Structure 1
């Protein structure tokens, strides 16, 4: 319950303190006196819209403080955590704005984010602004109202539907992108697969071309090698058929001669050693040449193979504009790209499966929401009709229309596909027939503001049966009504106030007379400024305020008598 509201420098409310009681609190005053400032202040201190433009002329900042009673045991205490202690029986919400547009939000003097103020407001106050009946004209709001009536489980299920629908839309976009890329990749994939097969058949090896070129050069010059190396071997070994002594034997004889002379002059030992080593090296060179020549054969078949292999490599290099190392790197690159495509094909299949799973889940959730709404819609309609009957609309018919739109791309339920939105598969619209003989029409076709206000009050009353919000604020809920209808609205507000605190800005004396607490707001003007003042009226002062509401500024004895009759019927 709202205990007190302090306003400092909000528009023309420079320094206003208002205390409220439980039950029905009414706020009255002349037109233009600033009554809606109180509603704006209550809404703003709990996180509603507020800018520096509302700071009073000449002031540097504005400040709003709202004090609420806090039950000893309630879920709100858990939400506030250490912002309140076990001994706190009240909680104070504070909001400040300076000329630079800087905002400060506090709970019990401690800085908090605006989201915490809003959570506090959602738990403590339901503000019904003077333009709120117009929200009933927007069909999209009707589903929210129905779901609020159906309770937490329905709203949780609806939120889950919205989450899954967002996931489905994202998955479908991703699949569409995959399909577009896949179409672009088809030709390239065919090319890559052909190139992969061709290079795999070629069985290329790193450095192979250099080895083949060397082998080709050898095979092409076998005859010359045989001739030249044969002569070299003959020079080393000699030719017995020609009685030709080879270099090895010549060096051997020379070594023998020098070795014999060493006994005469030992200084020749070094020469002898050198000749001995030369003879050994020449013998080894001759043996190696002999072995090489024995294995050196003219192999035209092998030469053809080598040449053909080099030609094949050259064709691949020319075809793909790469050398052998480049071809090997390209082969690895192709394998990677084809593997990626195979993985993406798997991803696409997995994504299609995920989409099917999401569609099935949405179908189940959507069907469940539709069933709950179709079951709960008539219940809400019946309760609203009961409330309208108490608001002088006893013959009104109220219906919650729940329909679906067929959509080939929508969510399948049974044999049909329905258009989906974040709230489910349903389109909800409130229909009303205010008077007997009239057909059901959308609320937006109601011409009477009084009828619309009563429908809103009826809905608020129905919702009050299920929510636990302790304070309801109505800004001119009596717009467009008077007479007997005004009495009915007054009775309804009085009934509401038996179970929670109700704060009403009204211009009807019939409503004001029902209040346990009557506050009057007035505008005081001086040469320098205009200010707002709020004071509580009782006794004769209250009678005169009601009389003013009956007759205007000129309070007559008849108006005073009427006022007393309102207060003491």
Structure 2
């Protein structure tokens, strides 16, 4: 429900604040006062297209803000969550600012928002009808949604769309697998060669490093034997070796300690040094004996290193990458070899999905045909009461046999508003007032299924009066039991039945024109209804007539 609308510097409105409640609210005023401007402001707020002339002359920017109670309105919470907008406590505040210089801006609950978000939120809140841009009834997609809502087809439409998406997904997967097979078969021999070559090498990730270490030892084996033997001899085996010399020095150290016991620390260090040198000398002997001088083994290593180098040059910078390349080639070969089985499985699934889609689309088409007739009858029965005597709505279903996501057929509303004329597409026939009355008939037919909380009708009463005006008022009252209804009207019969009445007035001061809005109660409302009746609002007879109308006695 719209609870408050604030407009500042929009068109000729300098500033206006309107508070709305449930039920039926009307806006009235003399011709040219700017009644429709407030509807245009609301349309702009829910995603309409702005233009520079919407900003009041002399002002740099215009601002429109509205507060909505959205508790229980489907889709609002998810849209806010997706957009990262705070949404709690059941309220939604939309604000839009137009600027002569710089970009226009929009906010939802204080967070910057896109026009698209405003439009998506508006589609779940407000239906606007009349002489402004925001007429979704002219859109064939919206006409289809109306038909499906009237027939309660939404679940079947969703199932049809899901079946279509499943079939499309299977087609895409089939295309990918077939493409893989075509490409794979052309390179299967290469993949097989790659797998065999890498597998035959029996690689380990660090083999090249191990071989390099072994090759270096074999290449320098004679030098290693000579050096390790010399060190063993000098440190341990020779007369006067380092070990012998350290032993003699130990005797000297004992003498030192005898003289000065405080030097015993040096004896411990000497013993540790002697043991280390002795261990070093002894250890060099088995190291020397273990060194092999094997030219044949070195040749084998060089051949193996050459193989590893060629594999790395072809398949990766390291042996780990070469191994991974072989595994990937093997998996690709497995996919190619198993692709025929996968294609057969996907084709079977596609055939089943196509049959399911065809069955659902056929059921949807049949239900739409029945619903199209029922909706036409319901609307046509209401048109005479709405001043469109001789008017006729036909719901046309056009299809070429191709099944699309939302069914086989395209839905289009055709209308004839005068006897003797063939129905033509709605967008080429109806005026704003006629469009509003036609939508009123549709809304009356949809009252039990339409979940939009707010309905706005602009200039719904163009060219009518008398008994038809009472019938339109009756329809609006019935709609207002299930929706919040806002109407811009010239008719006293409608204004008198409203739960709230707002008067739009215009004043001119020099070259400046201002539009003001005020809520009417009591005597003010009587005077306005008397004016709308066409009489002199200051005469007792006109006021009495207005009072009777307001009291429901006429």
TM range (shorter): 0.5 to 0.7
The answer (yes or no) to whether the contact 2:24–2:480 under 8 Å persists in 1 is: yes
The answer (yes or no) to whether the contact 2:130–2:436 under 8 Å persists in 1 is: no
Deviation per residue, 1:170-218 (Å, 9 max, x gap): 55356457657766777776x879x97xx99xxx988xxxxxxxxxxxx
Specify the SS of the correspondent of 2:361. helix
Matching residue within 105, 108, 111 for 2:107: 105
User: Does residue 38 of structure 1 match 2:38?
Assistant: yes
User: Does residue 14 of structure 1 match 2:14?
Assistant: yes
**TM-score in terms of structure 2 length:** 0.60
Specify the SS of the correspondent of 2:16. strand
Specify the SS of the correspondent of 2:437. helix
The answer (yes or no) to whether the contact 1:133–1:452 under 8 Å persists in 2 is: no
Deviation at 1:143, TM superposition (A): 1.4
Matching residue within 481, 484, 488 for 1:501: 484
After TM superposition, the structure 1 = structure 2 runs for residues 6-405 of structure 1, keeping only pairs within 5 Å, are 6-46=6-46, 48-49=48-49, 54-56=54-56, 59=59, 61-68=61-68, 83-85=87-89, 91=91, 93-97=93-97, 99=99, 100-101=102-103, 103-107=105-109, 111=111, 121-122=122-123, 124-131=125-132, 136=137, 138-151=139-152, 154-166=153-165, 168-169=167-168, 171-172=170-171, 175-176=174-175, 339=334, 341-393=336-388, 398-402=393-397, 404-405=399-400
The answer (yes or no) to whether the contact 1:519–1:537 under 8 Å persists in 2 is: yes
In 2, the alpha carbon distance for the partners of 1:465 and 1:561 equals: 38
Specify the SS of the correspondent of 1:30. coil
In 2, the alpha carbon distance for the partners of 1:187 and 1:121 equals: 55
Deviation at 1:534, TM superposition (A): 0.5
Deviation at 1:446, TM superposition (A): 4.5
Deviation at 1:15, TM superposition (A): 2.2
In 1, the alpha carbon distance for the partners of 2:134 and 2:10 equals: 26
In 2, the alpha carbon distance for the partners of 1:490 and 1:388 equals: 14
Deviation at 1:458, TM superposition (A): 0.4
In 2, the alpha carbon distance for the partners of 1:184 and 1:367 equals: 39
The answer (yes or no) to whether the contact 2:25–2:486 under 8 Å persists in 1 is: yes
1:147/1:507 Cα in 2 relative to 1: closer, same or farther (>3 Å)?
same
In 2, the alpha carbon distance for the partners of 1:500 and 1:335 equals: 65
User: Does residue 463 of structure 1 match 2:465?
Assistant: no
In 1, the alpha carbon distance for the partners of 2:549 and 2:331 equals: 89
Specify the SS of the correspondent of 2:4. strand
Deviation at 1:494, TM superposition (A): 3.2
Specify the SS of the correspondent of 1:22. coil
In 2, the alpha carbon distance for the partners of 1:527 and 1:117 equals: 37
In 1, the alpha carbon distance for the partners of 2:133 and 2:50 equals: 18
1:354/1:549 Cα in 2 relative to 1: closer, same or farther (>3 Å)?
same
In 2, the alpha carbon distance for the partners of 1:164 and 1:51 equals: 43
**TM-score in terms of structure 1 length:** 0.58
Deviation at 1:420, TM superposition (A): 1.9
Deviation at 1:524, TM superposition (A): 3.1
In 2, the alpha carbon distance for the partners of 1:358 and 1:118 equals: 35
In 1, the alpha carbon distance for the partners of 2:462 and 2:544 equals: 21
Q: What does residue 306 of structure 1 align with?
A: none
In 2, the alpha carbon distance for the partners of 1:394 and 1:54 equals: 37
1:420/1:489 Cα in 2 relative to 1: closer, same or farther (>3 Å)?
same
1:116/1:139 Cα in 2 relative to 1: closer, same or farther (>3 Å)?
closer
Q: What does residue 2 of structure 1 align with?
A: 2
The answer (yes or no) to whether the contact 1:93–1:117 under 8 Å persists in 2 is: no
The answer (yes or no) to whether the contact 1:161–1:422 under 8 Å persists in 2 is: yes
Deviation at 1:484, TM superposition (A): 4.6
In 2, the alpha carbon distance for the partners of 1:101 and 1:133 equals: 22
5+ residue gaps, structure 1 = 207-321, 407-418
Q: What does residue 461 of structure 2 align with?
A: 478
Specify the SS of the correspondent of 2:404. coil
1:384/1:513 Cα in 2 relative to 1: closer, same or farther (>3 Å)?
same
Specify the SS of the correspondent of 2:518. strand
Deviation per residue, 1:415-458 (Å, 9 max, x gap): xxxx1223111233335566778766654674676554432210
In 2, the alpha carbon distance for the partners of 1:559 and 1:451 equals: 33
**What CA RMSD, in Å, does the superposition of the two structures yield over aligned residues?**
5.1
In 2, the alpha carbon distance for the partners of 1:132 and 1:463 equals: 23
1:346/1:53 Cα in 2 relative to 1: closer, same or farther (>3 Å)?
farther
Deviation at 1:144, TM superposition (A): 1.7
1:124/1:563 Cα in 2 relative to 1: closer, same or farther (>3 Å)?
farther
Q: What does residue 276 of structure 2 align with?
A: none
In 2, the alpha carbon distance for the partners of 1:112 and 1:156 equals: 35
Specify the SS of the correspondent of 2:403. coil
Deviation per residue, 1:380-437 (Å, 9 max, x gap): 333323432432456665443445423xxxxxxxxxxxx1223111233335566778
In 1, the alpha carbon distance for the partners of 2:17 and 2:409 equals: 47
5+ residue gaps, structure 2 = 202-309, 315-321
In 1, the alpha carbon distance for the partners of 2:511 and 2:134 equals: 38
Larger Rg: 1
The answer (yes or no) to whether the contact 1:3–1:67 under 8 Å persists in 2 is: yes
